[in-house]
Structures are given as C-alpha cells and as structure tokens.
Structure 1
C-alpha cells in the first residue's frame, strides 16, 4: 500500500527527532521522519485513540522507593 499523506506532529517543532503518521482505514501508520524508508508501525485505530488519550491524561508523579534492603 502506497501512503502519500505522511504528516509530522505540530508539537515536533524544528527538531530532527520526530515521528510522522499517516492514517488509512485499517491503521494509523507511524515512522521515523529521519528514515522515511525504514521500519514502520501499523496501529489499530482503537489502540491509537487509547494511546493518545493516555498521553493527554496527566499521570501521578513517580515515587522512587527509599528501601535499600
């Protein structure tokens, strides 16, 4: 499947460490913007929505254990 509508996140700014996504009816495709011909992920739309929801939801701070036993 040829995908031509890759887009970079607006949160990426001018940095070079970015990912690009492309949507198809069956998956959200993810690739490294520096390696357009490299490996790609294909994520089911419900899993992608859950990922985005998880990223948007603040999580409690991590607490490091002080037990050294």
Structure 2
C-alpha cells in the first residue's frame, strides 16, 4: 500500500458520527474509518468495489419502495 491515496468521506456521514473513508488507487479501492487511512484498511479490487456499490444501490432502491 505504497500508492498515494486521496481519502474521501462518505456522503452519508453526519456531523460527529462514525464515518467511512474511501480512496481509489491504481490497484483498487481502500476503505477505512480514518481520513488518513490509519488503522485497519480493507482493500478490494475495482471489480469487487463496483459489485459492492451495485448491491448497495439495489438494496437502497428496494428499501425505499416499502410502504
């Protein structure tokens, strides 16, 4: 993990709550709980990240249809 990363805060993070930070690099995507990537980091390849985002969006759309 020596690649330079630019961490982005989740758009679903509210002020003062635990947040998730994501950084995209040439070898895949990293997910962490700190903006500097310190502590545990989950690393996935681009295909796995795209599948995850697709699944989250599908679940979000399904939950918004419930009465």
Unaligned runs of 5+ in 2: none
Contact 2:30–2:43 (CA under 8 A) maintained in structure 1: yes
4+ runs of 1 displaced by more than 2 Å?
A: 33-36
Partner of 2:25: 24
Provide the aligned C-alpha RMSD in A: 2.2
Q: Which has the higher helix share?
A: 2
Structure of larger gyration radius: 1
Which residue pairs with 2:55 in the alignment? 54
How does the TM-score come out when normalised to structure 2? 0.73
Return 5+ residue gaps in structure 1 as ranges.
61-69
